[in-house]
Amino acid sequence: MRIVFFGTPQFAVPSLERLLLHPDFEVMAVVTQPDKRRGRGKQVTPSPVKRVATEADCLVLQPARIKRSPEVIEQLRAIAADAFVVVAYGQILSQAILEIPRLGCVNAHGSLLPAYRGAAPIQWSLYHGETETGVTTMLMDAGMDTGPMLLKAAVPIGLLDTALDLAKTLSSLSAELLVDTLNQLNQGAVTPTPQPDAQATYAPLIQKADYTLNWSKSAIALHNQIRGFYPNCTTQFRGEALKITATLPLGEFDKTQWPESLAGLAQITPELTSAAIATHAKPGEIVSLLKAYGPVVATADGLLLLSEVKPSGKRSQSGADFANGSRLQVGDLLGEAAS
């Protein structure tokens, strides 16, 4: 099969690499976002997908706005591809582009559609405390992740999984599922299934405000926000920003829903000997300092252990090192009230 691959970030790399190596496919061209200035030095840097494509001597196309690039559209038509494969490309394809390939445009989306349509399905599935997610391949249409579904593959979500962990898992899963999808589509062995729109949920672009921690939420809600928007969730401490990058909820949430053993939780909980420890604590107040683990913070419902943090201008450190280095005391406050 003659393939044109559309993708930009690291998430799309395993899919491109899998197609490049597979004997059933010939990647005729790779379409990716233009090079951008990245990092502290603001050096012009190619996308992860472009680096792989260049090493493989693929034709690389980088239109600033593909819908308004008639020359690129004509190049795509001239390739006479069997299918376009789209994985986290970052631009919307026009109907004229969608109609070019013989078998259509196949997208791999990081959720079990119709749940979490949109730009950030991995992050929002964690934020909402889902215990399962996966990848759905679909034939693209003019809508946002609304096309008919082809194949699905599901994976469990662990209590301590972050967006980075889950992205790695789903990117590998996407690569395998795309191979099966393309072969079955070419053989006429898969029937596109319309999405039940009434069951759709959405995963919009993440906004800066989504990173701010509100200690008046429950411990499990804060934990899910921190791992979902990893590594960017921030609170205030002593007038400066403090990123919280890893936590463990100690509240009475439903632990039976999580498939893995919570050995760490079993070890820590007995050290919090009194349920009254947080009875009169304010949300955001440090109520305990566990020597081997770090500070424990009161929330509106349950306690949250801070197992990894990143103070402003410093490297990430364990909660225990943070407690020692900052000379934390029980009664110290996190959040706007503390700034």
- What is the mean pLDDT of the segment spanning 285-309? 89
Q: What is the pLDDT of residue 203?
A: 97
Which of 31-35, 41-45, 61-65, 94-98 is least confident? 41-45
Q: The CATH number of the domain where 242 resides is what?
A: 3.10.25.10
Burial of 119 (0-12, 13-18, 19+ CB in 10 A): middle
Domain boundary among 199, 219, 244: 199
The Cβ of residue 187 has, within 10 Å, a number of other Cβ atoms equal to: 8
Q: What is the pLDDT of residue 261?
A: 35
Which residues contact residue 315 at a Cβ distance below 8 angstroms, ignoring those fewer than 6 apart? Answer: none
Half-sphere exposure of 55 (CA within 13 A, CB side): 12
Q: What is the pLDDT of residue 279?
A: 58
Q: What is the pLDDT of residue 293?
A: 83
Range of the domain at 228: 208-338
Four-point Cα dihedral 79, 85, 91, 94, nearest 10:
60
Question: CA 235, CA 240: separation in Å to the nearest integer?
Answer: 8
- pLDDT higher than 80, residue 83: yes
Domain boundary among 137, 165, 199: 199
Residues 121 and 246 in one domain: no
Q: What is the pLDDT of residue 110?
A: 98
Confidence tier at 275 by pLDDT (50, 70, 90): very low
Which of 100-104, 153-157, 167-171, 278-282 is least confident? 278-282
Q: What is the pLDDT of residues 46-82, one digit of tens each?
A: 999 999 999 999 999 999 999 999 999 999 999 999 9
The residue type found at 123 is Q
Identify the three-state secondary structure at position 171: helix
Query: Where is the binding site for (6S)-5,6,7,8-tetrahydrofolate, in residues?
Result: 111-114
Q: Which residue has the tokens 């969730």?
A: 233
Q: What is the pLDDT of residues 116-162, one digit of tens each?
A: 999 999 999 999 999 999 999 999 999 999 999 999 999 999 888 99
Residues 189 and 223 in one domain: no
Domain boundary among 199, 234, 250: 199
Q: What is the pLDDT of residue 338?
A: 56
Question: DSSP letters along 234-277, please?
Answer: EEEETTEEEEEEEEEE-SS--GGG--S--HHHHHHGGGS--GGG
- What is the mean pLDDT of the segment spanning 201-223? 96
Number of domains in the chain: 2
Q: What is the pLDDT of residue 251?
A: 56
- What is the mean pLDDT of the segment spanning 21-32? 98
The Cβ of residue 227 has, within 10 Å, a number of other Cβ atoms equal to: 26
Query: Where is the binding site, in residues?
Result: 111-114
- pLDDT higher than 80, residue 278: no
Can you say whether the dihedral through the CA atoms of 91, 97, 102, 104 is positive or negative?
positive
Residues 74 and 169 in one domain: yes
Q: What is the pTM of this model?
A: 0.91
